[in-house]
Structure 1
Amino acid sequence: MRAVVLGGTGYVGGELIRLLLHHPKIELAQAASRRLAGRPLRLAHPNLRHVRHLAFTDPADLRPADVLFCALPPGETAAMRHRLAGLADVVVDLSPDFRLRDQQTHERVYGPAPGRAEAAAAFVPGLPELYRDRLAGARRVSVPGCMATAAILALTPLAEAGLVEGEALVDARTGSSGSGATATAASHHAERAGAMRVYGPAGHRHEAEISQACGVTARMTVTAVPRVRGVQVVAHVSPRRPISRAELLALFRGRYAGEPFVRLVADRSGVHRMPDPKILDGANFCDIGVAADADGRRVVVVAALDNLVKGAAGGAVQSANLALGLDETAGLDFPGLHPV
């Protein structure tokens, strides 16, 4: 099967290229970039210096493929949707263009998007842990945001069990790669290094995705931390009834039993007794840990993942595997590194 990556010079595009180059069933046929058309991949992704048979392709020269991965800035996939439909049987979009079903919510969060609503109805959320049956054979896939993915996986077992009372509070921390490859004043090393900058104290755009997927009202705060990769969310929930840690563990084990890329972290002691994105660099896992107050009236769920892999490119490949009828885990077996 042939794959094309559109938006190949960004960090997410680079991870898509890396994963597809080692995929056992999908061949990376083209990676597109206007700026670097005709130039080797290593100019944007120096870790791919050994890949000498591929250079970036101008987007105007894309050829039909079995699957097209779109890693474009907000608004661009939606604007190109009619052309993209003729390029591949399966289109996997990693932008926010088709994540939200409700048009008014999308426009409130992302701004005007004429004609988007009709196209959005065809997209299946690219989160296999919730939508595996719908992803099988899907032709349009929209991958959730990285912090939204972690928060949704953290809250889903509680929400499905009807245990969430009132709002769910999500405290998220993210590394600098989540801001993309284009430099900004906030990504300048002198400003970013060593900082823990609360840049999303209230009303973050991922709240709508989390609320849509979990059926609860989510409130999120986001802090930029001194890491390149990684997302960690700490979700605080007031349960409808007191619940113990043992019950929580049973609930989460039952919900994610058999999930190839969700790991429950249940150690009571030690350095790694709660999920930490540090050991997930390059891996497609989401690690989840739970805790409860002694009286069982407050639940804390911690989830961690690599924002560029499980939170983006890895989630996209996992979803594409299902859509194409392949082994869901194909090309995604890297376990992460320790120590780093």
Structure 2
Amino acid sequence: MTFSVAVAGASGYAGGEVLRLLAAHPDYEIKTVTAHSNAGQLLGDVQSHLRSLAHLRLVETTSENLTGHDVVFFALPHGASGEISSQLGSDTLAIDCGADHRLERESDWVAFYGGEYYGSWTYGVPELPVTAGRQRDRLVGTKRIAAPGCNASTVALSLAPGIAAGVIESSDIVTVLAVGPSGAGKNPRVNLLASEILGSANPYAVGGTHRHIPEIKQALRTAGATDDLSVSFTPVLVPMSRGILATSTARIRPGVSAEEVRSVWEAAYEGEPFVQVFPEGRFPRTADTLGANTCLMGVAVDEAAGRVVIVAALDNLVKGTAGAAVQSANIALGLPETSGLNTDGVAP
């Protein structure tokens, strides 16, 4: 069976990446692509790298244009997909790559985003350890999926194994991320100009203000974090077009050995095609994940500090967004989870 697909927000970075992955997928047929200011143009004029889809014409992002498809991917700014998606039939599989349906608590939405709250959908991070199994179990057969925030899923995948196994404390988590500017979307901004970021590393959303913080906490609570959960999160913009390198640390519980700590992460992701732990002493680069649906990790124990250090790398546009969306859609539809996705990056 081939599933008909519409992609809303096809002219942006996330929408373009969803289309790139779907173009080679054997079970999806792209029927409709939508945009706002670019409506009326050919897709090839705004996403010139998508040569196999260049003939498609962008139409307005309306519920009328999205209705009637088996699958609809939303790649819109936060606050834009909630109302439109609510008008789709319950038999349509909807996947939101934006933030509108990620947060379970309305208070978190109001505090970090604002505007109308449209409720939460099934979280689209299949490998995430939860208190009873994996998040993928909750994706089977669902019709509404919230793809993750790229920073949030990187940190959650990094720390959830230790939380779920009870080997780290949740009261003292610190994470610092080097991130590429494509995560901020395609709209031009002064702070994202090449002249502003080349040759520089620029911290932003410092002091607990980043919108992915409640999403990280939500995922770690799902993995079993206690009420004393505390996450210090600092992103740093660096001059690479795509990629995230997250260095996360947490205090190890008394009496837990370094060998036990490492075995927890290895067991958590054993057999996972897209989340892989490097051998001891090795750590990933963002370049290792370019274009691939992989999250690669290195795990170390700082015995002097009594902390575990996890270094995780992924492509924010693939595993961080579009790849997670396609992977989750595959699971929901009963397709092979790996279909249309790859683990090989592009080098150099």
TM class by smaller structure = over 0.9
2:122 to 108, 121, 124: 124
Q: Distance in 2 between matches of 1:334 and 1:263?
A: 10
Pairwise CA distance, 1:39:
2.0
- Relative distance call for 1:278 and 1:245 in structure 2 (3 A) is farther
Query: In the alignment, what sits opposite 2:220?
Result: 214
Query: In the alignment, what sits opposite 1:320?
Result: 329
2:261 to 248, 254, 257: 248
How many matched pairs? Answer: 329
On the 8 A contact 2:274/2:343 being kept in 1, the answer is no
Query: In the alignment, what sits opposite 2:299?
Result: 290
Query: In the alignment, what sits opposite 2:279?
Result: 266
Q: Distance in 1 between matches of 2:27 and 2:267?
A: 31
Q: Deviations over 1:160-194 (max 9, x none)?
A: 01223222111111001111100101011111111
Q: Distance in 1 between matches of 2:280 and 2:31?
A: 44
Q: Distance in 2 between matches of 1:264 and 1:63?
A: 41
1:178 paired to 2:167 = no
- Relative distance call for 1:164 and 1:65 in structure 2 (3 A) is same
Query: In the alignment, what sits opposite 2:93?
Result: 90
Pairwise CA distance, 1:295:
4.3
Pairwise CA distance, 1:80:
2.0
1:196 to 194, 201, 210: 201
Q: Deviations over 1:207-231 (max 9, x none)?
A: 1111111123222001001110001
Q: Deviations over 1:96-125 (max 9, x none)?
A: 1111111111101111325x2xx32xx100
Q: For residue 249 of structure 2, what is the amino acid of its counterpart?
A: H
Q: Deviations over 1:275-331 (max 9, x none)?
A: 111121110000011111234711101111000000000000000001111000000
1:100 paired to 2:103 = yes
Q: Distance in 2 between matches of 1:34 and 1:236?
A: 41
TM-score computed with the length of structure 1 as normaliser: 0.92
1:235 paired to 2:267 = no
Q: Distance in 2 between matches of 1:52 and 1:104?
A: 42
Q: Distance in 1 between matches of 2:264 and 2:61?
A: 47
SS where residue 315 of structure 1 aligns?
Answer: helix
C-alpha RMSD of the superposition = 1.7
On the 8 A contact 2:175/2:249 being kept in 1, the answer is yes
Pairwise CA distance, 1:23:
0.3
Query: In the alignment, what sits opposite 1:154?
Result: 158
Q: Structure 2: which 5+ residue stretches go unaligned?
A: 129-134, 222-228
Q: Distance in 2 between matches of 1:259 and 1:157?
A: 13
Query: In the alignment, what sits opposite 1:69?
Result: 73
On the 8 A contact 1:65/1:88 being kept in 2, the answer is no
TM-score computed with the length of structure 2 as normaliser: 0.90
Q: Distance in 1 between matches of 2:258 and 2:57?
A: 52
